[in-house]
Amino acid sequence: MNRTMTMLSAALIVSGIGGICPTVSARSSYDQKFADYPTYNGEDLELSIDSKGTHFRLWSPKAEEVVLCLYSTGLNGEPYESIPMTFHPENGTWTASVDRQLYGKFYTFKVKQDGKWLSETPGVWAKAVGANGKRAAIIDFAKTNPEGWDKDKGPQVDNFTDVIVYEMHHRDFSMSPTSGIANKGKFLALTEQGTTSPEGEKTGIDHLKELGVTHVHILPSYDYNSVDETNLQDNTYNWGYDPQNYNAPEGSYSTNPSDPSTRVKEMKEMVKALHDAGIGVIMDVVYNHTAENDGSNFELTTPGYYHRHWDDGRYSDASGCGNETASDLQQMRDYIINSVKYWAKEYHIDGFRFDLMAIHDTETMNQVAAELKKINPSIFVYGEGWTAGDSPLPADQRALKENVAKMTNIAVFSDDLRDAVKGHYSNAEDRGFATGKPGNEETVKIGIVAATAHPQVNYKKGNNSKFPYATSPEMIVNYVSCHDDLTLTDKLRKSMPDATDEERMAAAKLAQTIVFTSQGTPFMFAGEEIFRDKKGVHNSYKSPDSINAIDWSLKAANRDQMDYYKGLIALRKEHPAFRMTSAEQIAKHLVFDKIDSEKTPNLISYTLKDNANGDTWKDIKVIFNGSDESRTVKLPAGVWQTVAKDGKIDPQGGLGAMSGNVTIGPRSALILKR
Ligand code: CA
């Protein structure tokens, strides 16, 4: 997400804009000229090193002059050499070579355009940088690989509905003294084994293994702008949605930001440790905007090209952060594709979460997924299928959630399920299905069937989307909370002000049971398994650690909550019925009980029948009661074994037998099997 939280509903944006032209001509008149720029897609962009020396190639078709500046240090001092570069009009690039391998040196480019020298820039392809990312660094990547890296591999994923995502920020996860972790707030935190809370509960990577998630989704870990890497003792916190160098890791997560190799090496060590634990690594990527408009590396390299504009030349701002990038222009499209390919190859990244994905066009996203699949078919790509403001890009070309069926191997977040279960994201007091507010039943059902067409779901009654926008459950990520907005705990505290935390924890269990039993891919926010909060702060993007860090003492205090999440995850992993792979399967094997929501609100009951998706259980009955009264449901004939009831769960179904009329307690889920 972005920093300003001005997200509009995707539906609003769809209805607000017209236009069907598939080329740049549909964009603003100001941007027309960029479509004619010659492009260059070679792997030697900006820096390459071979036995003959070090070679530089900057793409900047309209520059009048370009100078390469070589430095001995990553910060301060003058260049030890400045080299004028040579233009190649056929592809718009400028080149220079030095007949030595310049390992250990740094460089910048200086571009003159329209008679004006722009500020120095490390370019847009710096893969290693000095402190604060002002200069690109020349390092030997072969020397950054941890032992056994050539054999390192993330988990194999057969279907994306098998993935269970755990979204975390490096500092949230390890900064608290209760984490027992030595490398607090660093990539290396995830490499530490055997760490515990003061009460002796597992923390760090051991906690992830105990919980059972398949993938961690790390908040932005490329080099971002806001944290001063030369002054880490001040311990500044930021989510990192302010991209600076897209192809180098963030320095503040390394133990030494001034040594360009350290951040590369330590991030790889993190990936390796997670892979060794059987856990995949998904990176949050924010190609949709840059942190500094005119001062961004895009503008200092090739002015105007990489961002979109309105007719009058102003930056358009679909990100709500001051600008938006232009994925529909060839060089920018290739940039995004080559950048994720680079992370997948060099860092063995297993997935990408695209921030404000609808700022990008569907064609770019399709190419992203297709290219990544060639590298590793297990790579999972998903994103926010909305923008945070209007864009010159026509709505039918945007990678909106409503356009997800136009894309292949791309998933979108379901805000349908999210808001229907817990209440609206931007209205703290608003309640949802799991907290007793009637009228959300049909929208929850949309989430349960992963927004696919289902004979028993009436999309016209949906709160957000009004049609089955997904044609496969692999297109949907279900969740009730993420780093954005209130944590589930805080949302429940604000929307259930008179309740006890015990009652809220029951509601949290119900909410997550809906997520983890629904079709699609489940996604959770780190720490909610131990009922973490953020002291009621909804936009904590630069709040201190005292707000954002997870207090791991909560794990012992809320052990029951942790065990329930663990049980939910184990249940999902053991039972493919919850992980169907096609819309047809869901329509055939998932049958809702007929319940009149006017008369009996906040009650949903359905059966996963006939060994759905090859499940060993013939039938699974799932009943959700979000009201504050008990409800009774009549079971189909026969004896059923209880899997979950009244906030307890046993993935083996050992909680007793039931038949006939069964009672579901207030704010709870009942899961049965036979
Ligand atoms: Ca940085």
pLDDT average, residue stretch 316-337? 97
268 CA to centre of ligand 1 in angstroms: 17
Number of domains in the chain: 3
Average pLDDT across the chain, whole number: 95
Enclosing domain of residue 657: 589-673
SS3 content of the chain, % helix, strand, coil (to 5): 30, 20, 50
Same domain, 263 and 342: yes
**What is the reported pLDDT for 319?**
97
Q: How many beta carbons lie within 10 A of that of residue 28, not counting itself?
A: 17
**What is the reported pLDDT for 234?**
82
The CATH number assigned to the domain holding 78 equals 2.60.40.10
Residues forming a β-bridge with 621: 607, 672
245 CA to centre of ligand 1 in angstroms: 8
Same domain, 448 and 393: yes
Cα–Cα distance measured from residue 265 to residue 272, given in angstroms and rounded to the nearest whole number: 10
Which carries the bigger pLDDT value, residue 265 or residue 10? Answer: 265
Is residue 6 situated within a structural domain?
A: no
Same domain, 546 and 441: yes
Cα–Cα distance measured from residue 362 to residue 104, given in angstroms and rounded to the nearest whole number: 40
- Spatial contact of 398 and 391, defined as CB atoms under 8 Å apart: yes
Q: Which amino acid is at 520?
A: G
Active site residue 346: no
Question: Is the pLDDT at 546 greater than 80, yes or no?
Answer: yes
Same domain, 616 and 525: no
Strand, coil or helix: 444: helix
Question: Is the pLDDT at 336 greater than 60, yes or no?
Answer: yes
pLDDT average, residue stretch 174-201? 98
pLDDT average, residue stretch 281-306? 97
Is residue 22 situated within a structural domain?
A: no
Question: Is the pLDDT at 195 greater than 60, yes or no?
Answer: yes
pLDDT average, residue stretch 416-422? 97
**What is the reported pLDDT for 15?**
30
Confidence of residue 155 (pLDDT cuts 50, 70, 90): very high
Same domain, 575 and 652: no
Confidence of residue 25 (pLDDT cuts 50, 70, 90): low
Tokens 């399709």 map to which residue? Answer: 366
pLDDT average, residue stretch 108-124? 98
Active site residue 44: no
Is residue 28 situated within a structural domain?
A: no
pLDDT average, residue stretch 259-263? 98
Considering the entire predicted model, what is its pTM?
A: 0.96
Which of 528, 559, 579 represents a domain boundary (last residue)?
579
125 CA to centre of ligand 1 in angstroms: 15
Confidence of residue 156 (pLDDT cuts 50, 70, 90): very high
**What is the reported pLDDT for 10?**
34
Same domain, 574 and 593: no
Beta strands in 481-584 (DSSP E): 521-525
Cα–Cα distance measured from residue 75 to residue 133, given in angstroms and rounded to the nearest whole number: 9
Is residue 493 situated within a structural domain?
A: yes
491 CA to centre of ligand 1 in angstroms: 31
The residues, ordered by sequence, that sit 6+ positions from 564 with a Cβ below 8 Å of its Cβ are 509, 512, 647, 648, 649
Which of 516, 546, 579 represents a domain boundary (last residue)?
579
Q: Are strands 351-354 and 280-285 parallel, antiparallel or unpaired?
A: parallel
Same domain, 443 and 476: yes
Question: Is the pLDDT at 1 greater than 60, yes or no?
Answer: no
pLDDT in tens, 201-242: 999 999 999 999 999 999 999 999 999 999 988 879 999 999
pLDDT average, residue stretch 423-447? 97
Is residue 249 situated within a structural domain?
A: yes
Structure token pair of residue 487: 């944590």
296 CA to centre of ligand 1 in angstroms: 13
Which member of 229, 350, 384, 442 is catalytic?
384
470 CA to centre of ligand 1 in angstroms: 37
Same domain, 657 and 554: no
598 CA to centre of ligand 1 in angstroms: 53
**What is the reported pLDDT for 567?**
98
108 CA to centre of ligand 1 in angstroms: 17
- Spatial contact of 368 and 285, defined as CB atoms under 8 Å apart: no
The CATH number assigned to the domain holding 497 equals 3.20.20.80
654 CA to centre of ligand 1 in angstroms: 51
Confidence of residue 24 (pLDDT cuts 50, 70, 90): low
Angstrom CA distances, 515 to 31, 416, 417, stand at 42, 12, 8
Element (H, E) at 575: none
Same domain, 467 and 575: yes
pLDDT average, residue stretch 588-595? 98
Same domain, 606 and 634: yes
642 CA to centre of ligand 1 in angstroms: 51
Which of 116, 144, 172 represents a domain boundary (last residue)?
144
pLDDT average, residue stretch 589-596? 97
pLDDT average, residue stretch 619-629? 97
The CATH number assigned to the domain holding 665 equals 2.60.40.1180
Q: Are strands 521-525 and 476-478 parallel, antiparallel or unpaired?
A: parallel
Surface-to-core class of residue 406, CB atoms within 10 Å of its CB (0-12 exposed, 13-18 middle, 19+ buried): middle
Same domain, 183 and 329: yes
Tokens 């992370």 map to which residue? Answer: 343
Is residue 484 situated within a structural domain?
A: yes
Surface-to-core class of residue 654, CB atoms within 10 Å of its CB (0-12 exposed, 13-18 middle, 19+ buried): exposed
Same domain, 178 and 274: yes
Is residue 227 situated within a structural domain?
A: yes
189 CA to centre of ligand 1 in angstroms: 18
Is residue 4 situated within a structural domain?
A: no
Q: Which amino acid is at 310?
A: W
Which member of 355, 415, 441, 474 is catalytic?
355
**What is the reported pLDDT for 26?**
65
228 CA to centre of ligand 1 in angstroms: 7
